[in-house]
Amino acid sequence: MTWQISRRSLLRGSAAAAGAGLLQACAGTPAGQNAAQMRPQPQPKPRQPKTSGNNVLRIIASSGFAPEPARAQAGINLLQYAGFAVTNQEAAFRRFQRFAGSDAERIADVQDVATGRAATPKVLMGMRGGYGAHRLLPHIDFASLGARMREHGTLFFGFSDVCALQLALLAQGGWLSFAGPMVYSEFGKPVPSSYTMDSFIRCTTNPGYTVSVPAMQRHDLHIEGMLWGGNLSVLSALAGSPYMPDIKGGILFIEDVGEQPYRIERMLQTLLLAGVLQKQQAVVLGDFRMGSIRDVYDSSYDLSAVTAAVSRAAKIPVLTGFPFGHIADKTTFPLGAHAQIRSDGNGGYTVAFSGYPTLDKNSLSLDNLMPQTAFDTGITQSVIEEKADSE
């Protein structure tokens, strides 16, 4: 059965949950009660679920460290509450310089699975993004890792800097992964996004998944092939290396954050000069969270000007508005799986995914991920800061 989800369909519910947390955090303290008395009291940590073989989740901390250890713990608690047996938890609390541990420690998070020193889990999940995954790539046997993941139907979730590992896995191990939420970045939020949690559940428990994109497009679309990609900065940095997938006839997905339009174009030009874009049927842009970012030399040179220039140069359509990036409400979807893109008759488009591994929902309690139950895990409500969505 194929599930379809629209970004708009859950926006109201997500906003309501976030608004509740905001009001709670900003409300005044009644006379005679201090802030500590008013703050929601943490509940006991959930017990680690028993291992069923279909519920083991291993944390990978390949990039930046967790600035707030309590938030990392909250993410672990919520995943346990959803029925995952979370392993390698210590990785979420390591720090060496700006990284989540030394290079050797961060390599071991992945290489121990590749070599069999650690059992192959059902889920590999990035802790957060930042920077650091590139340093690990030469030290990981991605062919062996991909073979073990294929045998066990392992799902690997991450985005931002973590996609360096996902791209290398596709390039050298031939196994797909998922653009999706991470331990610290999404599951550890004070109020997890309803849209993000619902998308994670629907995508990972159904063999087919369709995302509707209402953003107006100039193209009549009828495309199918492997959809792959990730963060644009990471992709451009891997160009010409053995860790960049060589995909012909594919659909390239990209997203980034905090970049001026000319820098986005320069990175796309890097992929063009490297011959990557010309091999694709289309490029799909996620949310670049441009906000007030303007080109310092020409404020009229915006993302739409960039997409038009790149589309002309590569002679392929560049689609916009896909709901993923360094944003609160992000869809979960497979990278390296088959996708069909079709115009929806209203100016937008749909992307239908198939051919990817799924979770056994009977061995998990995934409904517990939804915000109305999230506070049972000991997550303290607070104002959600925009920067929390960046990695």
Cite the active site residues.
160, 255, 326
**25 φψ region: left (φ > 0), alpha (ψ -120 to 50), beta (else):** alpha
Tokens of 139: 């030290």
Of 46, 122, 135, 48, the residue nearest 85 (C-alpha): 48
Cα three-residue angle 169-170-172, rounded to 5 degrees: 65
Burial level of 246, CB count in 10 A (0-12/13-18/19+)? exposed
In whole angstroms, how far apart are CA 305 and each of 88, 264, 265, 309?
45, 11, 9, 6
Determine the Cα–Cα distance for residues 310 and 318; give it in Å rounded to an integer.
Answer: 8
CA torsion sign, 246 to 247 to 249 to 253?
negative
Taking the alpha carbons at both ends of the chain, their separation in whole angstroms is 32
Q: Which residues of 80-112 are buried (b: 16+ CB within 10 A; e: fewer)?
A: bbbbbbbbbbebbbbeeeebbbeeeebbbbbbe
